[in-house]
Amino acid sequence: MHRMNMARMMLWLVLCLPLTAHAHQNGSNADAPGPNLASVNAAVAVAGSNDLVFAKNADRSVPIASVTKVMTALVVLESGVSLDEWLVFQRRHTPAAANAYTRIRIDSQMRRSDVLRIALMSSENFAAYTLARSHPGGFEAFIDAMNAKAKELGMTGTRFVDPTGLSVENLSTAGDLVRLVNAAAKYPEIREYSTTDYFRGQFRQPRYSLSFGNTNALVHRESWGVGLSKTGYLSDAGRCLVMISNMNGKRVVTVLLDSLGTRSPMGDAGRIKRWLDTGAKGQVAKAAREYSQEKNAAYNSLVHSTTAALK
């Protein structure tokens, strides 16, 4: 399985290399002096703008885990379906790409608005799957809509194969995700649902309820003023975080991909905030630095191998 994923990623790199080279030539994602971060890839922009004020490997296509669900939410809302409709949690028609535990009972029902809420705030994978399965054109049409939207937004280093982020074949760049977050932030439902602290979800047939909590600890801190949030994790993707929050008197988009530890994205967000406020670069733990070096070396080796294969 790992060899198959590597082969597919190599094929994707073959397709993306011309685009990546073009980005470097334009200097649009060139890394600039900034804070020291544990995250291997990162991008920072003023909310509403796709111009990066800080970039770290921001044009590198990598697995994005459950950050995928921001695009899932965007496609749901732009499809025009009713948020009041009751959706059925049907047994998956294909196996999950990774182990996906859920407390939701097969064949139970929940309103689409609440399904969308728990997919965003609590990263409920069965919820994201059900949103795609309930799309008017069906599951495959939903995936096509995700990729069509990415193309429309100019996300040239992005592709999706599932709505949850459980697949390592869901790839994007930090720079592309700034575009996605800015587009998603135009929808009040995404802003509200993704920043809900706690939620008690109501199901029917049978009738029961479940409690859900937000996966981003920063939404609980008023000083951050988090206006949109999504976390993600897979072993191949590391810890990921995208959000809009208050920094240096502005609304700022932060994209952090592939961090080593559970709290590393939160620490990076704090370092970015202090850098914008004071210019301080901050310190990163040795283990995080070594992790970043290893991931950079692995990625560069993959690119080298792919380039050699093209010759």
pLDDT at 307 (0 to 100): 78
pLDDT tens digits along 38-94: 999 999 999 999 999 999 999 999 999 999 999 999 999 999 999 999 999 999 998
- In-domain check, residue 3: no
**What is the C-alpha to C-alpha distance for residues 266 and 259, in angstroms, rounded to an integer?**
10
DSSP labels, 84-151: TSEEE-PPPSS--SS-----SPTT-EEEHHHHHHHHHHS--HHHHHHHHHTSTT-HHHHHHHHHHHHH
- Active-site residue, selected from the candidate residues 39, 66, 245, 259: 66
pLDDT at 153 over 50: yes
Cα separation values, 236 from 65, 66, 88, 248, 251, Å: 9, 12, 31, 33, 30
Confirm whether 16 is domain-assigned. Answer: no
Indicate if 264 belongs to the active site: no
Q: Does residue 80 form part of some domain? A: yes
Q: Above pLDDT 70, what percent of the chain? A: 89
* pLDDT tens digits, 166-196: 999 999 999 999 999 999 999 999 999 999 9
Residue 4: inside a domain:
no
Write out pLDDT tens, residues 126-150.
999 999 999 999 999 999 999 999 9
**Annotated catalytic, 172?**
no
Q: Across the strands, what pairs with 256?
A: 42, 241
Whether residue 270 lies inside any domain: the answer is yes
Does residue 305 form part of some domain? yes
What total of structural domains would you count in the chain?
A: 1
- Residue-number span of the structural domain to which 149 is assigned: 29-310
∠ Cα 88 92 97 (to 5°): 135
In a domain, 54, yes or no: yes
Reported as a single tens digit per residue, the pLDDT across 113-129 is: 999 999 999 999 999 99
209 belongs to the catalytic site: no
What is the rounded distance in angstroms from the CA atom of residue 86 to the CA atom of residue 107?
Answer: 11
Q: Using one digit for the tens of pLDDT, what is the confidence trace for 79-99?
A: 999 999 999 999 999 887 766
Angle at 156 (CA atoms; ends 153, 160), nearest 5 degrees: 85
Residue 5, domain member (yes or no): no
The pLDDT, as a whole number, for residue 305 is: 83
pLDDT the model gives residue 8: 59
The pLDDT assigned to 306 comes to: 79
Q: In this structure, what CATH number is given to the domain that contains residue 290?
A: 3.40.710.10
Query: Does the pLDDT at position 26 exceed 90?
Result: no
Instruction: Give the model's pLDDT for residue 212.
Output: 98
- pLDDT of residue 22 exceeding 60, the answer is no
| pLDDT score recorded for residue 310 | 75
- Confidence at residue 9, expressed as pLDDT on a 0 to 100 scale: 59
Q: Which residue is catalytic, options 122, 123, 259, 264?
A: 123
Q: What is the pLDDT of residue 308?
A: 79
pTM (two decimals)? 0.91
